[in-house]
């Protein structure tokens, strides 16, 4: 006799021994026939009360002959339900393939020796392998961003005027047939869209709007200048603010000084555009002379990043500022005599009340090539690069494929201050309890923390491109030692807080002290 047959025989004996108690168990239950079982027509009495399963709070079920017995412990299924016992009948399930996981038989996971043995689930091998990315069948598969295209398609044929439009934007515009849509291309409509640059429709505007490159150039650091004064020098912030406000308005109506912040030995000035900042910086000698700011040091913030492909030529890397000029008409002649090749020359004038122009003695020159030896030979004229920075980037080279390489580059020196990105939702910082909770969490995660600072949004703040330069959502952490910041830089990147993966970068300590007061 097999084990299965012996188990069924034992189960039958247990059921037979329970029959004398049938009358007691059925007491109090309403039946549709007499309780002696001798109903007309030879039918058995039918219990009107339905059996209750485990979800209804009962551990009994009714057998086919009308008896009720206690449920025996069932083996828990890996699919979330309990496996039933084999009742000896042929299963009508479509999974009747002698597989115990589907026919309802109990699976002994302990074998004869009592130790746990993993059940044999060969029917799930394909599904299990699919859910495990580390299996061998994925080895040798190239990532989708590294796969080579087998042949060109119609998306590679660019219409006139759409040479710089990527295929992703072309599909979103709705002007081009999608794969599987055989309608003809309306080339007359394409010509009209190319003429007006897609500005007539919201869907076609996405073709020519390059929000990525534009937003990469939007930074408050590109609109700031720092003036450092010698220790102990007396200077008046209000007088400086009044003079610079008038000076900037004289440069042009489109320029504006937004704010000025100061401490005992420095002033942080912010303008409304990078172009305005370049013109003011190029005129520093005139401002020093007129505002009596002798011995003051002018500079860009250390975190200022030079844009190598800035759309405005005033912010280009090949711009130089000439100072101590006497006559604006002699600038081009002087450059030609010294064999200095240039593309354009813009003297800086101030518009006075009467409509006349006042020459500041400064000019902005765009050179074809910068030859420092020839520039140093200029007599009675000083020059410098107003847009120069140790940090630089080419925004047009930043895309999905180059991001891993850019992240791996170590351009910033180690510092006591690190900047944490993507740690919080900027809109959540409107709530003070959330700010306190984030700060407390970071102090528990990090060691030797001196200061945790974050820029708080105002009530009217909105999460859009217009406010991208407000630096909301980034968290600055200053440590007591450089070793502590280096340890944090090794531990934090990739960790999650509040469901968001953190990104980190070093930040200049001097600039951190400046922005805290701004």
pLDDT on residue 397: 74
455 with 517: CB under 8 angstroms?
Answer: no
pLDDT on residue 518: 64
Question: Of the ranges 252-266, 278-292, 403-417, 489-503, which one carries the lowest mean pLDDT score?
Answer: 403-417
479 with 485: CB under 8 angstroms?
Answer: yes
DSSP-derived 3-state class of residue 206: helix
Torsion of the alpha carbons at 326, 329, 331 and 334, rounded to the nearest 10 = -100
Distances (CA, A) of 430 to 152, 333, 433, 462, 470: 50, 58, 9, 11, 14
Better pLDDT: 55 or 370: 370
In DSSP terms, which residues pair with 305 in a beta bridge?
391
DSSP-derived 3-state class of residue 12: helix
pLDDT at residue 83 is higher than 70: no
DSSP-derived 3-state class of residue 165: coil
**Residue 193, CA atoms < 13 Å, CB-side half-sphere:** 24
pLDDT at residue 35 is higher than 50: no
Alpha-carbon distance 471 to 219, whole Å? 9
Lay out the sheet containing 475-479: strands in order across.
449-454, 475-479, 417-421, 503-507
Distances (CA, A) of 290 to 77, 239, 365, 420: 86, 12, 23, 42
φ, ψ of residue 293 in degrees (nearest 5): -110, 50
Alpha-carbon distance 497 to 505, whole Å? 17
Alpha-carbon distance 481 to 201, whole Å? 55
pLDDT at residue 353 is higher than 70: yes
pLDDT at residue 129 is higher than 50: no
474 with 456: CB under 8 angstroms?
Answer: no
Distances (CA, A) of 137 to 127, 130, 141, 344: 13, 9, 8, 61
pLDDT on residue 261: 86
- What superfamily would CATH give domain 412-515? RRM (RNA recognition motif) domain (3.30.70.330)
Kindly report the average pLDDT of the chain as a whole number. Answer: 75
- Number of Cβ within 10 Å of residue 375's Cβ equals 19
Alpha-carbon distance 266 to 226, whole Å? 7
Architecture (CATH level 2) of domain 313-391: 2-Layer Sandwich (3.30)
Distances (CA, A) of 35 to 16, 69, 297: 19, 18, 108
**Residue 104, CA atoms < 13 Å, CB-side half-sphere:** 12
Domains 313-391 and 412-515 alike in fold: yes
Alpha-carbon torsion (490, 493, 494, 498), positive or negative:
positive
Q: What is the pLDDT of residues 451-472, one digit of tens each?
A: 999 988 888 888 776 777 778 8
| Residues present in the chain in total | 518
Closest CA to 442 of 467, 424, 460, 462: 424
Alpha-carbon distance 26 to 68, whole Å? 8
Supply the DSSP symbol for 94: T
pLDDT at residue 183 is higher than 50: yes
| Domain extents in the chain | 3-81, 155-209, 313-391, 412-515
Which pTM does this prediction carry? Answer: 0.61
**C-alpha angle 382-388-394 in degrees, rounded to nearest 5:** 150
Average pLDDT over every residue of 188-214: 68
315 with 278: CB under 8 angstroms?
Answer: yes
Average pLDDT over every residue of 291-307: 89
Q: Could you write out the DSSP letters of every residue in 132-163?
A: -TTSGGGTTPPPGGGPPPSS--GGGSPPTT-T
454 with 476: CB under 8 angstroms?
Answer: yes
Strand intervals (E) in 47-134: 60-62, 68-70
Longest pairwise C-alpha distance within the chain: 129
């Amino acid at each position: 006799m097999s084990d299965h047959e012996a188990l069924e025989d034992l189960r039958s004996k247990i059921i037979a021994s329970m029959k004398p108690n049938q009358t007691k168990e059925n007491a109090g239950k309403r039946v549709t026939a007499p309780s002696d079982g001798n109903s007309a027509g030879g039918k058995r009495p039918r219990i009107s009360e339905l059996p209750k399963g485990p979800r209804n709070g009962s551990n009994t079920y009714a057998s086919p002959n009308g008896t009720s017995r206690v449920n025996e412990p069932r083996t828990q299924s890996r699919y979330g339900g309990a496996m039933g016992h084999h009742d000896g009948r042929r299963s009508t399930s479509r999974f009747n393939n002698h597989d115990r996981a589907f026919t309802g038989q109990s699976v002994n996971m302990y074998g004869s020796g009592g130790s746990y043995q993993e059940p044999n689930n060969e029917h799930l091998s394909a599904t299990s392998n699919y859910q495990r990315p580390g299996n061998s069948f994925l080895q040798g598969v190239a990532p989708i961003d590294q796969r080579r295209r087998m042949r060109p398609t119609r998306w590679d044929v660019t219409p006139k005027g759409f040479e710089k439009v990527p295929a992703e934007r072309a599909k979103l515009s709705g002007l081009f047939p999608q794969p599987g849509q055989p309608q003809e291309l309306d080339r007359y409509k394409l010509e009209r869209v190319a003429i007006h640059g897609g500005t007539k429709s919201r869907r076609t505007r996405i073709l020519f709007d390059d929000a990525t490159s534009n937003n990469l150039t939007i930074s408050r650091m590109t609109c700031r200048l720092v003036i450092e004064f010698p220790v102990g020098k007396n200077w008046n912030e209000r007088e400086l603010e009044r003079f610079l406000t008038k000076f900037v308005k004289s440069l042009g109506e489109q320029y504006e000084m937004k704010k000025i912040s100061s401490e005992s030995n420095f002033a942080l000035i912010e303008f409304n555009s990078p172009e305005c900042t370049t013109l003011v910086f190029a005129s520093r000698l005139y401002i020093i002379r007129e505002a009596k700011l002798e011995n003051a040091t002018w500079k860009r913030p250390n975190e200022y990043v030079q844009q190598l492909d800035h759309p405005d030529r005033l912010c280009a890397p090949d711009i130089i500022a000439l100072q101590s000029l006497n006559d604006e008409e002699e600038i081009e002649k002087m450059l030609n005599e010294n064999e200095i090749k240039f593309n354009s020359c813009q003297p800086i004038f101030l518009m006075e009340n009467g409509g006349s122009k006042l020459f500041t003695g400064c000019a902005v020159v765009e050179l074809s090539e910068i030859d420092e030896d020839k520039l140093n030979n200029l007599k009675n004229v000083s020059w410098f690069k107003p847009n120069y920075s140790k940090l630089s980037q080419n925004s047009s080279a930043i895309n999905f494929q180059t991001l891993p390489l850019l992240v791996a580059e170590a351009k910033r020196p180690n510092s006591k201050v690190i900047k944490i990105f993507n740690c919080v939702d900027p809109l959540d910082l409107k709530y003070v309890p959330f700010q306190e909770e984030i700060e407390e969490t970071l102090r528990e995660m990090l060691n030797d923390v001196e200061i945790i600072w974050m820029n708080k949004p105002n009530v009217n703040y909105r999460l859009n491109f217009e406010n991208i330069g407000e630096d909301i959502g980034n968290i600055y952490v200053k440590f007591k030692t450089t070793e502590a910041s280096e340890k944090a830089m090794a531990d934090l990147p990739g960790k999650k807080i509040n469901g968001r993966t953190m990104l980190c970068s070093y930040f200049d300590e001097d600039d951190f002290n400046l922005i805290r007061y701004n």
